[in-house]
Amino acid sequence: MTIALNGPLLLVGAGKMGGALLEGWLARGLDPRSVFIQDPALPEGIGELVAAHGIVAGAAPRLPQPPAVIVLAVKPALAGEVLSVIAPSVGAGTVVLSIAAGRTLESLSEPLPETCAVVRAMPNTPASVGEGITVCVANAHVSEPQRQACETLLAAVGEVVWVDEEALMDAVTAVSGSGPAYVFHLVESLEQAGIEAGLPAELAARLARGTVAGAGALLKHSEQDATTLRTNVTSPNGTTAAALEVLMKEDALKRLLARAVAQAAKRSRELSS
């Protein structure tokens, strides 16, 4: 899918997530002449990419016309200050797409023109390798073409899902935003368990990493759900069944994850209030 917008795109912040988005856009054919980057100090790799494509970047790049989309990819603590600075560049047809974690539609809209279209998005770190999933919610001023433009831009780094209720974003953050860390901890734990079972550390690490990565790839490409895939690999009275008897006893793992997600959602609400 080639990306085409009806005006310039202003990327504010070209750090890890902003840089991943930029790479995805360029890979999908977005005209680099339509991209402008507001960032006073580009990371080394992104600086080289920007230079190679002749993209205009700097602390305050001058755009030929109001941007079609402003992508806000700065740290949440800086979002309000940055939005106040860029507010004068917002045009009647501009949509502000924020990936600043925890910033509500209300807080994002406050420094902007009263009827500004704003989309709040929650991506996750697998976006850096094009395997992310992003959940979005829009305010009442976002038109269908603006919604489609935001979805097209975010789809460059993975799957995109929309919700109608902003209140769901705290749970979204707890499940998909923080979720990769849970999976990485699973790998750490599986690796340690392998060592305790007698495997050399290097082999345990390789097996744990490869198993989780492979299972994730199988889950992504299979039409079967996770329950069916688990059942398929579990022979009656076999080794997997013996392990699952421990993990699933009294819903131990389910209950632990439920507590973890609830705690993360609670913290998300605290940070966004």
Q: Partners of 9 in the beta sheet?
A: 35, 69
Token couple for 137 = 């919610």
| pTM of the model as a whole | 0.93
76 is known to lie in a ligand binding site: yes
Residue 82 labeled ligand binder: no
Share of the chain above pLDDT 90, in %: 95
The answer to whether residue 1 scores a pLDDT higher than 90 is no
Domains of the chain: 9-172 (3.40.50.720), 177-272 (1.10.3730.10)
Of residues 177, 163, 161, the one with CA closest to residue 264: 177
The per-residue pLDDT for 271 is 84
- Give the tokens for residue 262: 């609830």
Does 75 appear as a known binding residue?
Answer: yes
pLDDT of residue 4: 86
Q: Alpha-carbon distance 243 to 85, whole Å?
A: 56
CB 70 within 8 A of CB 96: yes
Q: How would residue 3 be classed by pLDDT, with cut points 50, 70 and 90?
A: confident
The secondary structure of 195-243 as a DSSP string is HHTT--HHHHHHHHHHHHHHHHHHHHH-SS-HHHHHHHT--TTSHHHHH
How high is the pLDDT of residue 90?
A: 96
pLDDT band at 273 (very low <50, low <70, confident <90, very high): confident
Residue 261: predicted pLDDT: 97
**Average pLDDT over every residue of 102-109:** 95
- Per-residue pLDDT tens digits for 17-66: 999 999 999 999 999 999 999 999 998 889 999 999 999 999 999 999 99
Q: Is 74 annotated as a binding residue?
A: yes
pLDDT score of 272 more than 90: no
SS3 120: strand
